[in-house]
Amino acid sequence: MSGPDDAKRGLRRELLAVRSRLTGDDAEKTAAVLARRVLSLPEMAGARTVAAYVSVGGEPGTGALLEELRRRGVRVLLPVLLPDDDLDWAEYEGPASLAETRRSGRVTLHEPAGPRLGPEAVTGVDAVLLPGLAADLSGRRLGRGGGSYDRVLARLAAAGADPLLLVLLHDHELREEVPAEPHDRPVHVVLTPSGTHRARGRG
């Protein structure tokens, strides 16, 4: 009998197959519009520190957003993947501050080269940009399955922190329903090139 975990695996395969056909150029075409959508959110007007990530492959581009946040004087923290798949954090200081890191022999990440701030650094941010493969209008997010951001969300909850949680997706990745398990924590806003979608029951 199949359950949410099987459904997640099947949907991941489907979505990753589509993303594998996208190029960096495809992703960057959406970067500017997504950056505008994020920065137009009322909650972002007073943000002083934001946790984000550097997009890779077919992910919607984050480069324009990172640079605009930095230009506005917002402190941007980027993740550093630890051996146990938890996340440390370091400050983004521009594209030249990023170093390429190979993971699992197949994925190249771009991580900040500056001083590590510790996994708890994320509990002091005003907003968290989470990577994802899909989401629905209830805010349920499908990640890649490594659990890194599940730990981040659990850490935020344990600390009593309530930053704005955002996910950037391609239009076809916004679904009617995403399979979820009890430990999954919803995001507040899903942003796609065609719209800004607030999770039901949030603002």
Whole-number pLDDT of residue 7: 80
Residue 71: which pLDDT band, with cuts at 50, 70 and 90?
very high
How many residues are given for the chain?
203
Statement: residue 1 has pLDDT above 50:
no
Burial 107-124, CB ≥16 within 10 A → b, else e:
eebbbbebeebebebbbb
Average pLDDT of the residues in 46-53: 97
List binding-site positions. 8-12, 54, 59, 141-149
Whole-number pLDDT of residue 56: 83
d(CA 131, CA 141) in angstroms, rounded, equals 9
Whole-number pLDDT of residue 180: 81
Highest mean pLDDT among 24-38, 110-124, 176-190: 110-124
List binding-site positions for substrate. 54, 59
d(CA 127, CA 152) in angstroms, rounded, equals 12
Statement: residue 30 has pLDDT above 50:
yes
Average pLDDT of the residues in 123-145: 93
Statement: residue 21 has pLDDT above 70:
yes
Spell out the domains of the chain, with CATH numbers in brackets: 4-198 (3.40.50.10420)
Cα–Cα nearest to 150, from 8, 7, 18, 3: 8
List binding-site positions for ATP. 8-12, 141-149
Cα within 13 Å of Cα(50), Cβ side: 27
Alpha helices in the chain (DSSP H): 4-19, 24-39, 63-71, 148-158
Mean confidence (pLDDT) of the chain: 88
Cα–Cα nearest to 47, from 134, 165, 194, 131: 165
Residue 100: phi, psi to the nearest 5? Answer: -80, 135
pLDDT above 70 coverage of the chain, percent: 90
Whole-number pLDDT of residue 5: 74
d(CA 108, CA 116) in angstroms, rounded, equals 19
Average pLDDT of the residues in 86-114: 84
Q: What pTM, to 2 d.p., does this model score?
A: 0.89
Statement: residue 24 has pLDDT above 70:
no
Residue 109: which pLDDT band, with cuts at 50, 70 and 90?
confident
Please say whether the dihedral angle defined by the alpha carbons of residues 147, 102, 9 and 172, taken in this order, is positive or negative: positive
Could you tell me if 51 and 122 are in contact, meaning their C-beta atoms sit under 8 angstroms apart?
yes
Whole-number pLDDT of residue 168: 96
